[in-house]
Chain A
Amino acid sequence: MGKRVILVPLDPVHDIGLKMIGRALSERGHETRLLQPDLSCEEIVGEISRYRCDYALVGRTLGYGVEEMLARLADLADAAGLRPKVKMVVGGMAIKPELAAELGYDAGFGPNTPVEEVVAYVEGRPYDPRGGVPPRSKPSLTRGYTYRFRNSEVEALLSGIVEEVVCWASGVTSPGVERARIRSRMFESRREGEGEEGLAREYERLCEPVVAESCRGAGVPKARAVTPSEKERLERRLLGRTKGETQLRHGRDKPLVFVQYGTGCPLMDVAHVEVAESWGADGVVHFDPSWAARREGLFRGLLAHEEDGSLITEENLRLVKSGLGDPTLWQVRAHRGLNTAETVVLAGECGADLTKINIAYGSLGGGTDPERLAADGVEAMRQAARYGMPFDVVTNEELCGVPAHKAFAGMLITAAVGIRLGGLPVLQPLFCRSPQVMLEGFMADNYVDFNAAKVLALRQILDAPIWPGAPIGFLTHTPDRVQASVTTALHACLASSLGVDAISISSADEAYSGGPISAASRVDTLRAVREGLRFFGRAGIEPTDRARLWASDIVEGIVSVLRDVARGGSFVGALYEGLLGSREEGAYPGRVGRGTVKKVRAG
């Protein structure tokens, strides 16, 4: 049955919202009447009374003294005996349900409220923000990609290099490889209800003393155990709540937007993840401290770390997982240390959707010995394939000064090994103002062409998903939160225009926070990206002709590097020799874990 609705604009300028609602209500058969905007509270109450309406929708932008006027209007309507019959609703800028309750209204709607939500309220039915569309399901980054090479020369070169890597890896092992396998057997034992004690002792023998002691309940450096009451309070206040669905994209399915969390405290991580999800992030990335990645073995327990980066433990990961919304993609990075393979096992067991593995970056920019990370990286990719878990291959060595084509060659070798082992790699070029770019002047005119060239180059080589990171706009951010948000949004718009599959974005204070990242700064960039993607919709950004030329240069450079690696006959050797990034360029083969790779005894 149609309702009688009176529309009360208290503000002569900002009544467009009420007009839109009025039109929607009329179209649905309700009777509406729009009052003029300059009536007194007494006159409005008189009109509400005479019109015998069911609803009075009051619209006003909050300003000095406006709350008092709105409160008085509600009070006057109450005194006039109208409230049992007339529902009073307030809407406008700065209106929240809390303020509506305080002012005496039955409901309050803030800015950007969909007209349909108000119509649903008037009709007394629940509002479905999806408009009948089924709930968002978990997206896939890799679906639809064939992983076929489009450049036959690159394919041929990689084929030889991959065989060499896989063959070499099958003849070696390391403490990290062994721990990953033991950890995997521990989970299997647990599933089958068998004891883990024997395996646990075997595991501890492969750990550094400080890690082994933590497995037996000792304290962990720079960390403390989360107390049961802290965990209980988190569970009571945060977990299990229905999450809102904010859509960042407008008119496009891509790119999925990832943010990185890693406050150090898993409880705070859950809160940060909830903020990110609430403001539209599609996925979150677990950021762990680099010092822990340089230890042999993973710590145990629900642990809060005193610096940024959240320790990778089974308990920490399971807590974060329990706070994640169903459609949210979850990546646990494994890429750069002595626990790479084991982290993949833990991530897979704890329900992660994605991981991150790259041998070249981890050993040239991440501090790990190339031989060790090659052995562990291959095992990590085997484990990732076993869990059906895609992994991105990052190229952060560009930030050290390695030219893009060399970083890409390393990425493509890792990706090709992954494909060979049945895995699903995702290519992660950086959208950044790298040292190479600064030295060569590639971004003297704009930030578009060189970033676009990277994507175009990779597409000429391989049919695989592309996920620029990490975060986009690296080295274009300043401590100014507005600037950092704008540059993030612009890089996101470029990514959207190029049709890439995903992006990682930073918070507005990430590069210069000088401490923990704030939730407000996280929202800054998510809001900025949303506005940027709304602005462009399906329209695009047109790179200049230089993008295509640079893309060709990058492909030629990649081919040249791969030729050199193939000619040398050893991928690990190429890493030490600087073929994938030299000391002069800023790439230094890492030393952590050196000498720990052992040949596997035959038989």
Chain B
Amino acid sequence: MRRVAGRGQAAVAVGIAGTAKNTGKTTSLRALMDECGRRGWGVCVTGIGFDGEDLDNVTRLPKPRIPCRDGVLVATALDCLGAGDAEVAVEHETGIETALGRVCVGTVRRAGFVVIAGPNKSSDLSRLLRTIRARPEPPAVILVDGAFGRIAPMGVCDGLFIATGAARNPVIGPLATETRSMVKVFDIPKVGPRTGGGDDIEVRGVASPAALHRLAETLGPGLSGRSVIVSSPTCLLASGDPPAIEEAMERISSLGGSLRVRRRPALLGVTVNPFFPVRLSEGRYETGRVDEDELLSAFRMRIGRPVWDVVAEGAAGMADAVESLASGMGGCSLEGEDGGFVE
């Protein structure tokens, strides 16, 4: 069974970023963990929020828990270790501090539920990924669960799934349009060998749609033939709504310029969730649903990326996408135990 990445190879880090609470991040994570298990891949699981609790912190609605089989590597805060019923043998403390204590890395010795609160900012997540990859036998895949609609920390992953759905917007048309805009942001080309020269404009830190519009306003035709370089698609998405970013991209393009990113995780696909919480009054919620078939067909028609409802379909497609990403990284492929893997 393929348990570990090869010597000198990086374990592929895959995030599941949501567009809001209750869009199915943890459900997608669970499905992907199951599929990784079926395929015999060694997995490390962590997250940028607080996941695996039985009730939502805000709505008090039930939440999916995170079951872990024996041998799964877990990176979570010290205070969370006793919160699940899985037995985790802690191997080391990372020195990464969180609101729930220092992040520890350990292996599940007795299967059960875990509660995950890992590093919740880019710099700390990046540090954790380095730590995991530096292990003598790193896992094949590092799965990073998202939190709320937070996306900035996910910029340090190799690949991403977007989890969206009716909790973000129960009106399917605008939801699909917004998601298509997100895909376009992830399709912004990386800086090439000839970009980043003297004429190009580097935007450090936040590049909000308003800032990009101001840039277009100020330079006008002066943008022609120049690249506006931002750090990553996730930095763009953290600063504004996807349609507003798309609009700013089109304005720069109409002036003859182009947007580029320094680095970008591969957007591997989108998972959709028809469920949404309906707020009745302060602290009281009930559940609602949109039509699943309508949701899926609208997305598949308009997104231009694979789309899954993991509850109905499982995560085989997601795992295929991860395998494809891994094989594109350093020429390795994720294979089963019998076949070994190619270095």
Q: Which residues of A contact B (CB under 8 A)?
A: 42, 45, 49, 62-64, 67-68, 71-72, 74-76, 78-84, 96-108, 233, 236-237
B99 x A106 contact (CB < 8 A): yes
Contact A42 B206 (CB under 8 A): yes
Quick check: A103 and B98 within 8 Å, CB to CB?
no
Interface of B, helix, strand, loop or mixed by DSSP: loop
User: Which residue of the partner chain, among B58, B79, B121, contacts A97 with CB atoms under 8 Å?
Assistant: B79
Q: Which of B35-43, B142-150, B181-189, B330-338 binds A?
A: B142-150
In the complex, which residues of chain B have a beta carbon less than 8 angstroms from the beta carbon of A79?
Answer: 152, 155, 205-206, 231, 234-235, 238-239
B45, chain A: closest CB distance, angstroms? 16
**Partner among A42, A62, A71 whose Cβ is within 8 Å of the Cβ of B239:** A42
Tell me, in angstroms, the Cα distance from A68 to B238 when the chains sit together: 12
* Across-interface contacts of A103 in B (CB, < 8 A): 49, 147-148, 150
Contact B148 A71 (CB under 8 A): yes
Asked if A101 and B77 sit within 8 Å, CB to CB, the answer is yes
A233 to B204, CA, bound (A): 51
Contact B234–A106 (Cβ < 8 Å): no
Q: Check A102/B148 contact, CB under 8 A, given A75-B238, A79-B234.
A: yes
Tally of A-B residue pairs with Cβ under 8 A?
115
Q: Taking the nearest CB of chain B, how far is it from the CB of A42, in angstroms?
A: 6
Q: Which residues in B have their C-beta under 8 angstroms from that of A84?
A: 121, 123
B242 contacts partner chain A, Cβ-Cβ < 8 Å: no
Going nearest first, the 10 A-B pairs with the smallest beta carbon separation are A78-B152, A79-B238, A71-B148, A102-B49, A100-B99, A80-B205, A79-B235, A102-B50, A83-B121, A84-B123
CB distance from A75 to the nearest CB of B (A): 4
Contact A98 B57 (CB under 8 A): yes
| B58 with A71: CB separation less than 8 A | no
- Which chain B residues border A236 with CB–CB below 8 Å? 82
Interface assignment of B279: CB less than 8 Å from any CB of chain A:
yes
For B21, list chain A residues within 8 Å (CB). 67-68
Closest to B57 in A: A99
User: Given the complex, which residues of B lie within 8 Å of A68, measured CB to CB?
Assistant: 20-21, 148-149
**A118 vs chain B, min Cβ distance (A):** 13
Which A residues are CB-close (under 8 A) to B100? 97-98, 101
Residues 289 to 319 of chain B near chain A (Cβ within 8 Å): none
Residues in B72-88 with C-beta less than 8 Å from chain A: 77, 79, 82, 85
Q: B325 near A: Cβ within 8 Å?
A: no
Query: Which residues of A sit under 8 angstroms from B238, Cβ to Cβ?
Result: 72, 75-76, 78-79
CA distance A87 to B282 in the complex (A): 31
Tell yes or no: B120 within 8 A of A by CB.
Answer: yes
The A-contacting residues of B in range 227-271, CB under 8 angstroms, are 231, 234-235, 238-239
Closest-CB distance, B340 to chain A (whole angstroms): 39
CB-contact partner of A96 in B57, B82, B98, B231, under 8 A: B57
Task: Give the shortest distance, in Å, between A420 (CB) and chain B (any CB).
Answer: 51
Interface residue B151 (Cβ < 8 Å from any Cβ of A)? yes
Task: Say yes or no: is B208 at the interface (Cβ < 8 Å to chain A).
Answer: yes
Report the separation of the CA atoms of residues A3 and B99 in the bound assembly, to the nearest whole angstrom.
Answer: 20
Bound complex: CA A88 to CA B147 (Å): 17
- Nearest to B207 among chain A residues (CB) is A79
Residue of B nearest to A64 (CB): B279
Q: B195 at the A/B interface (Cβ < 8 Å)?
A: no
Residue in A closest to B48 when the chains form the complex, CB atoms: A104
Q: For residue B20, which residue of chain A has the nearest CB?
A: A68
Contact A101 B234 (CB under 8 A): no
With known contacts A45-B206, A68-B20, A71-B148, A106–B49 Cβ distance under 8 A: no
Enumerate chain B residues within 8 angstroms of A100, measured Cβ to Cβ.
99
* CB closest residue in chain A, given B240: A42
Whether the Cβ atoms of B148 and A101 lie closer than 8 Å is: no
A602 to B272, CA, bound (A): 90
Given A78-B238, A102-B117, A102-B147: 19 more A-B contacts, CB < 8 Å? A42-B239, A63-B282, A75-B153, A76-B152, A78-B150, A79-B231, A83-B121, A96-B57, A98-B57, A98-B100, A102-B50, A103-B147, A103-B148, A104-B120, A104-B147, A104-B150, A105-B120, A106-B98, A237-B82
A342 to B287, CA, bound (A): 57
A123 to chain B, nearest CB (A): 15
Q: List 16 A-B contacts (CB under 8 A).
A: A71-B150, A75-B150, A75-B151, A78-B121, A79-B152, A96-B57, A97-B100, A101-B100, A102-B51, A102-B120, A102-B148, A103-B147, A103-B148, A104-B120, A105-B99, A108-B99
A104 and B238 alpha carbons, distance in the complex (Å): 13
With the chains together, A96 CA to B83 CA distance in Å?
A: 15
Interface membership of chain B positions 61-96, coded 1 if the CB is closer than 8 angstroms to chain A and 0 otherwise: 000000000000000010100100100000000000
CB pair B50 A76 closer than 8 Å: no
A83 touches B49 (CB 8 A): no
Chain B residue with Cβ nearest A49: B205
With CB as the reference atom, state the residue of chain B lying closest to A74.
B150
Chain B residues whose C-beta falls within 8 Å of the C-beta of A49 in the assembled complex: 205
Q: Give which listed residue, B58, B120, B149, contacts A72 with CB less than 8 A.
A: B149
Residues B1-47 near A (CB distance < 8 A): 20-21
Contacts of A76 in B (CB 8 A): 152, 206, 238-239
Choice from A67, A101, A105 contacting B58 with Cβ under 8 Å = A67
Note all chain A residues with C-beta closer than 8 A to B279: 64
A198 CA to B342 CA in the complex, in Å?
73
State which of A71, A101, A106 has its C-beta within 8 Å of the C-beta of B117. A101
Cα distance A83–B205 when bound, in Å? 11
> Which among A42, A74, A78, A99 has the highest number of chain B CB atoms within 10 Å?
A78
A98 touches B205 (CB 8 A): no
Report if B53 contacts A (CB, 8 A).
yes
Chain A residues near B77: list those with CB within 8 A. 101
The verdict on B200 contacting chain A, using a C-beta distance below 8 Å, is no
Q: B178 at interface (Cβ–Cβ under 8 A)?
A: no
B323 within 8 A of A: no
Q: Is the CB of A97 within 8 A of B152?
A: no
| B202 interfacial by beta-carbon distance below 8 Å | no
Report Cα–Cα, A602/B237, bound state, in Å. Answer: 96
